[in-house]
Chains A and B, each alone.
Chain A
Amino acid sequence: MKHIKIAFALTLTVMLSMLAIFAVEGVTTPMIDEYLQKLADEALYSIMSDFDGTFEDISADYNLNGTTILEVKKGAEEGIIYKASFQGYASVITYMVGVNLADDTIYGLSIIEQGDSAGFGANIAVPAYADQFVGMSREDLGNGDFDGVTGATITTGGFAGSLAKVMQFHSVTFAGGVEVSDEEVRAGMMNDLFDGATFTEVTADNTTNENIKNIYEAKVDSVLVGYVYFVEGTGASVAGGNPFEYYIGIDLDKNYTGFRMYQNNDTANYAEPYLSDEFGDTYVNVALGNEDVIDAYTAGTSQTRSTIISSNVSLMEYHLVEVLGEMLNRPDPVTNLGVVNAFSTVAANYNEIYIDNPYNESILNMYELTDASDAVIGYIYYGESQGFGGQITFAIGIDVLENTDKVVILSSNESWNNAFEYSGSEVFPDTTWLQNYEAATIASILADPGIDGIAGVSTTTGTRGEDDGLMFAFESILNYHLEFIGGAE
């Protein structure tokens, strides 16, 4: 009985409360709406001060979904007022701008709502800031020809981007402007990366990569100045997982010349910052490999930033390896160590192929050497063995006919003083003993019983039958080559 009484009392109280609030709401909501409408209209009349007609809301006539424009209000034949919003540094900023239909100038601009940092982005709402827009030409406003907000680059960038889109809309809808074609957009982006250059597509001439859609050579006066890539990636969005496409430029000094997001399918107000030119300009003169210095453009978009950066890094590695022919900073850079000296002919490419082949304890890396037309001209094995004084690293070159070329000792800490046969006359690693392995067919080296370790330095050279030293390392590699690379099975 008690519980029922309690439940009843509570329920009754809540129901009565609901009724009371419902009743009051019915009366007050229209009053509140009217007040807000008056406020909004006040803003409209303050922008178009000489207009005394009524404003007609024509937003429904256009597909404004996902665009920066929130509302379009028409003031008879005199002017159009747009309400738009964009992502500022830390808040969504809403503003109204009025365009004069008669002479294509701006009536004025008013910031309706903003929550950016006081003293910086918040200064966009200072009334005096909007004074510069009165009477400005619509074209100038769309081009960003106005004073930004001091110390608030991101806010200003978002603002300029949003205004450009609003003015573009106006131009197309009311002023007989032509929609900017896709070609023009793309050409504009590429031109931003290399000003005044002509672009030749070279995608077909380069190794395919599933993310790189197009590769262009940028030339000024027929001189190559750099490359532009059109790349596709996934995930550069606050929403996560959406595909994005961008243009990125790399000059011959291995610096980025800029970045232009072509589209990123992100949620409205988060998409704009990364579509802005200001974000793309943060790439200018950033060295390849230094992508970390590029910051997230707005608060709360670090996920977006990291997916963009990791796409950039993959692109950068492709560029370094495939286009510039460099080795990436792997633990054993070929050119730095002189591994290339094991083969007398200089190759166009030193392709690491160790990953595609089985592991061998003596081999640190193996390279396939190709010439400019991608034909294989030889191989180099970068190997190691344990000597008396520590690790010995070396490189041995082999041509396509299974002849060895040269043996180069890259690092060692051996003394040759105790070498019985050579003492006094030779020093490791310049010893002639290594010539046993140079310029001979693999088969003959392996079959030669005369090649043996040197007494007195057997730790360095090894002993036949003992599976140690340099002998063991060399023979392992030669056998490996025959088995996995050579014609013999």
Chain B
Amino acid sequence: MARKQKTNREIFTAGLIKQNPTFVQFLGMCPTLAVTTTVENALGMGAGVIFVLVLSNLFVSLIRNYVPKEVRIPIYIVIIATLVTILEMTMQALVPDLAKSLGVFLSLIVVNCLILGRAEAFAGKNPPFKSILDGLGMALGFTGGIVLIAIFRELLGAGSLLGYQMIPEQYQISILVKAAGAFLVFGILVAQINKIRFRNLDKSEVM
């Protein structure tokens, strides 16, 4: 559902707000709900996605004219998988505790629809610099999205923020750190964002 953007600025900002992967495109829901239990995990996942998405968009864009159309998807996937494997190994070597926290969801970045989606929809058809901007914008939008969810879940559910305990145990809403709570927070945030998105539209135009 990507509309062709004209200016670089528009390309970059699309992923941040208008086409936010988390709240508008609903891409990458699985890791979204799983790693948003703490802000630290969300930031870690976000950083990983930025790394993979920017580089995968770059590489896909570089080879877009040489790749036979019939096998473009498998090749994109190999590129993404390679990047994720490199990311995983590097994280395990440099930040092993964070890597352990993210666990299997680090590996699952491979199947995050966001990455393959942008590769197919944008990077496969656009020059490298624009692709980098798109990747960066989308990844930052994703990171922003999951960090926002994580702030609510960690603060209200576990009473802490980045590990610093702020709210005592009796006031914690513990369901927020469970899977059900993830859906709740997500749903409420989507509702608020939709409210902002559609406030300028006439009632009759709302889909």
Contacts and interface: CB of A to CB of B under 8 A. Distances in A.
Contacts of B188: none
A35 interface: yes
Given A17-B81, A28-B92, A32-B92, A9 B86 contact: no
A31 B90 CA distance: 9
Given A21-B86, A24-B86, A28-B92, A9 B79 contact: no
Contacts of A17: 78-79, 81-82
Contact of A21 (B66, B70, B74, B82): B82
B90 A28 contact: yes
A25 B71 contact: no
A20 interface: yes
Contact of B78 (A5, A13, A27, A31): A13
A466 to B, nearest CB: 84
A35 B68 contact: no
B73 to A, nearest CB: 11
A118 interface: no
Contacts of A178: none
B68 A2 contact: yes
Nearest to B69: A6
Contact of A13 (B70, B75, B86, B89): B75
Contacts of A14: 78
A10 interface: yes
Given A9-B67, A35-B96, A21 B75 contact: no
Contacts of A25: 89
B89 A10 contact: no
A21 B79 CA distance: 11
Contacts of B85: 21, 24
Interface string B73-117: 011001101100110011011101000000000000000000000
A25 B85 CA distance: 9
A36 to B, nearest CB: 8
A13 B74 CA distance: 10
A28 B92 CA distance: 8
Chief secondary structure at chain B's binding surface: helix
Given A17-B81, A20-B82, A31 B93 contact: yes
Nearest to A24: B86
A5 B89 CA distance: 32
Contacts, number: 49
A6 B90 contact: no
B178 to A, nearest CB: 15
Interface string A56-99: 00000000000000000000000000000000000000000000
Interface string B28-39: 000000000000
B83 to A, nearest CB: 9
Nearest to B72: A9
A287 B78 CA distance: 64
B70 A24 contact: no
Contact of B71 (A10, A24, A28): A10
B71 A6 contact: yes
A143 to B, nearest CB: 38
B60 to A, nearest CB: 11
Interface string A24-54: 1101110110010000000000000000000
Nearest to A18: B82
A14 B67 CA distance: 13
A230 B78 CA distance: 61
A6 to B, nearest CB: 5
A7 B82 CA distance: 19
A10 B74 contact: yes
Contacts of B78: 13-14, 17
Contacts of B68: 2, 5-6, 9
A5 B68 CA distance: 7
A27 B94 CA distance: 11
Given A6-B70, A9-B66, A9-B68, A24 B90 contact: yes
Contacts of A2: 68, 70
Contacts of B71: 6, 9-10
A21 B66 CA distance: 23
A429 B81 CA distance: 91
A214 B71 CA distance: 72
Contacts of B86: 20-21, 24
A166 B84 CA distance: 43
A6 B92 CA distance: 35
A25 to B, nearest CB: 6
A202 to B, nearest CB: 61
A17 B85 CA distance: 10
Contacts of A27: 93
A5 B79 CA distance: 18
A35 to B, nearest CB: 5
Nearest to A34: B93
Contacts of B82: 17, 20-21
A21 B75 CA distance: 16
11 contacts: A2-B68, A9-B75, A14-B78, A17-B81, A20-B82, A21-B82, A21-B86, A24-B86, A24-B90, A28-B89, A28-B90
9 pairs of A and B residues whose beta carbons are closest in the complex: A31-B93, A28-B93, A17-B82, A28-B89, A24-B86, A13-B75, A6-B68, A32-B93, A13-B78
Interface of B: 66-68, 70-71, 74-75, 78-79, 81-82, 85-86, 89-90, 92-94, 96
Given A6-B71, A32-B89, A32-B93, 15 more contacts: A6-B68, A9-B66, A9-B68, A9-B75, A10-B71, A17-B78, A17-B79, A21-B82, A28-B90, A28-B92, A28-B93, A29-B89, A31-B93, A35-B93, A35-B96
